[in-house]
Structure 1
Amino acid sequence: MVPAIQHSVFLYLVLSCLYPSHAAQGCLNKQKVLTVIRQMQQFLKGQETHFTDGIRTMKAKLSALQISVTKLTADQPSATWCPSLEAPKHGKKFGSRYSADHEVHFVCQPGYQLIGSSTRVCQPNGRWTGVNASCTEWSDLSFNRKPRCAEVERTQRCSCDAGFHMSGSSENSVCQDVNECEVFQLEGIARLCMYNCVNIPGSYRCTCPPAYKLLNDGRSCADVDECATLQHNCTAGETCINTGGGFQCVNPQCPEPRGNISYVKTSPFQCERHPCPMNSKSCHHVAKTISFHYLSLPSKLKTPVTLFRMATAAAPGRPGPDNLRFGIVGKNNQGQFVVQRSDRQTGELILVQPLKGPCTVEVDVDMSEYRDRTFQAKHVSKVTLFISANGF
């Protein structure tokens, strides 16, 4: 029996015996009544202690939870910003983000050497790594040095450091810098640098065009992706497209309504035509879908090269087209592109003439679907090419 119920029964018996109306038999004697009362008092005291301990435990847990939440809120780092950095004189700075973990890069103009850190990173404490960058002009005197001479077997012998060659008479010799940039170019050997070679005393240095960074090999250049590194100024309604040496902010729009022909934008890069009236033949022959595509290419790309593919797919439960026809809408950009079928369901846009940048070239490709020689639908792909000024 549960202790609480058991004590309640005892209490009921005790109270019953206190009233004269009850029979004397079946009632507890005085000693037993006092024993039951003491047991009830101990039981109530134990229940009171248990209840008090429960309240105390609950208060302790709530206090610990409050302290934990307060500490978690205090430990959350706030947005950290580092001071603005300026481009050094006779140099350039790449990077406009000054929040934590973002990088800023510095380069000097040809003929100048970088003093300080070429890359600085914004730290969570609001300070930049490295030291201030500056560009110092190479001194003409640093390209000439005195040779190291020593007397060997009563004969004076002189030598120059690597990157210098001996010039002048034995009495008045001088070590002149070897211009590696000119020597290797004149001898027809492969260029030392992908973009530009700068001669420095005893050696050379490679530089890259703006918005490119020099790779670890010291000679190759790679484009800085402003879109991935958030170094662009595109608005919320625009999409950033990385290009060679820069970026473009795009927000393609659907054609304006014309008669009973109108389009709705179903994604940032696609428009779909509203259903046509049954009796409107002209509406059925315009593009059912219009998609937008953006490609970044280097200047003077070796051709021919496939740029873009178009394909069709039948809706579930419906027969697809048995014939596709591909073509270039409007002018053919002076024969720079051709469209050909690569298989039964795919067509390709091919660049057949090199494009010299910087420039932007647009070409529209349409794909018409036929079934049983009957026209079904047309789809247009508007392809925009961003040609960089460099061949890499």
Structure 2
Amino acid sequence: GFVYDRRARQCVDVDECRILPDACQGHTFCVNQEGGYLCRPRGLLSPQYRPEASYPEVPGGFSDTFLPARPRSVEQSYPRVRTTAQCILGYAPAEDGTCNDIDECETNSHHCNPTQICINTSGGYTCSCVEGYWLIGGQCQDIDECRYGYCQQLCANVPGSYSCSCNPGFILNPDSRTCQDVNECEEEPCTHGCFNTYGSFMCNCDEGFELAADGTSCIDLDECSFSEFLCQHRCVNTAGSFSCICPPGYYVYEDGRSCEDINECDTGNNTCTTAQVCFNFQGGHTCLDPLQCHSPYVEVSDNQCMCSAENPACRDKPFTILYRHMDLSSGRTVPADIFQMQATTRYPGAFYIFQIKSGNDGREFYMRQTSNVSATLVLSRPIKGPQEVVLDLEMVTVNNVINFRGSSIIRLTIFVSEHPF
């Protein structure tokens, strides 16, 4: 009932009475109206009394909308004659003489495209598209909502609609469009500590542990494998930590790593008798028996034996033997000065010679004279323990003025420890 006027850019009414041959047949004449026409009986009224029907205008611009106007009664100046009801386009006469709307959608008398849906209106119908489609070139085409950013993160277009989803670590909000971060830490995915991040989470471990390859569990860190110098003696790995242990005769020092000698002589944890003397050395102790001087020597103190010059048996023997004891760590670095020896009595015109008389079979020691009356025992080669080394250190006194030559001995017993500490 309408045609598009390109110049006016709107839809204008089609005059069917002018362009359709024999639009009305029989004893009827054609009356044009907006969107259609009406055939009315001839001779019912004189021409000067033929009323012109007035119909409301239909808004232009909708090529798929058909809205014929409702008929309205016109007051006539002659007696009314009862006739059959004449209805405008879109209506059909009813038995009671009224006009009822024709449901073009139900009767399938519409001209909607197969892709469109028909919506009945009063006196006509409308062709429209379902939600999710729009009309392009007379066809209903799917709207790709994903192109217009309907979803915050992931979007999947489906015919007539769309579906939003979220990246891992997010959940869809009730609006079905936006996403919110998931606090994965609430489900305790980590063995130890958990730190929530935007869209994910991170696990951390307690001290002494490291994160496993799965990123969530923690495995014990073997600190002992880091360095062999972590403990002075031996390192024992524990869950989340480590501990140092020391060999018998030692205790772990305050730093938790070093080994300190236990002085069994001070603690009383020894087996020495009251007649014996307890001597402590690194990692152990020994019980020294009371001094016994062998003839022709006589005891002059608790650690010294003397052979009198008046005794003929002492002529070729050292004048005195002094007993000393010391300890030495196994593998001590060399060279090292370990013992000092010097003359206690000086005679005019005398000079002194210091030497190792016995016990130095492995050549680990030598004497270095530091003055005319003193010398130092030097460790020249590393010595391993545990072992006892007994050295006779001799001091020879020579006096050419009175033609005197004599000697004194220090019998030095060295207790070498088993460990280098």
TM-score by length of 2: 0.51
Task: State the aligned residue count.
Answer: 231
Which of residues 349, 359, 369 is equivalent to 2:397? 369
Aligned to 2:280: 242
Which of residues 254, 260, 266 is equivalent to 1:222? 260
- Is the strand fraction higher in 1 or 2? 2
- Contact 1:285/1:378, CA 8 A, preserved across alignment: no
Aligned to 1:153: 198
Q: Deviations over 1:258-303 (max 9, x none)?
A: xxxx1111222111113424xx3x6223111101111111110111
Matched, 1:308 2:348: no
CA distance in 1, matches of 2:348, 2:275: 36
CA distance in 2, matches of 1:324, 1:363: 19
Q: Which amino acid aligns with 1:304?
A: P
Question: What value does the CA root-mean-square deviation take over the aligned residues?
Answer: 2.1
Shift of 1:150: 5.0
Matched, 1:330 2:358: yes
Corresponding residue SS for 2:362: helix
Shift of 1:147: 3.6
- Contact 2:232/2:259, CA 8 A, preserved across alignment: yes
For residues 12-161 of structure 1, what are the structure 2 equivalents within 5 Å? Answer: 146-149=191-194, 151-161=196-206
CA distance in 1, matches of 2:276, 2:407: 27
- Is the helix fraction higher in 1 or 2? 1
Larger radius of gyration: 2
CA distance in 2, matches of 1:217, 1:360: 31
Aligned to 2:328: 297
Corresponding residue SS for 1:325: strand
- Contact 1:321/1:369, CA 8 A, preserved across alignment: no
Which of residues 250, 256, 266 is equivalent to 1:212? 250
For residues 226-305 of structure 1, what are the structure 2 equivalents within 5 Å? Answer: 226-251=264-289, 253-257=291-295, 262-277=296-311, 280=312, 283-305=314-336
For residues 164-175 of structure 1, what are the structure 2 equivalents within 5 Å? Answer: 164-170=209-215, 173-175=216-218
Q: Structure 2: state its 5+ residue gaps.
A: 1-189
Quickly say closer, same or farther: Cα 1:308–1:149, change in 2 above 3 A. Answer: closer
Larger relative CO (CA 8 A, sep 6+): 1 or 2?
1
CA distance in 1, matches of 2:290, 2:341: 19
Percent of matched pairs sharing the same residue:
30
Corresponding residue SS for 2:314: helix
Shift of 1:389: 0.9
CA distance in 1, matches of 2:256, 2:371: 44
Q: Which amino acid aligns with 2:345?
A: A
Q: Which amino acid aligns with 1:233?
A: T
Q: Deviations over 1:177-222 (max 9, x none)?
A: 110110234xxxxx22111111111111111111211121111111
TM-score by length of 1: 0.55
Q: Structure 1: state its 5+ residue gaps.
A: 1-144, 186-190
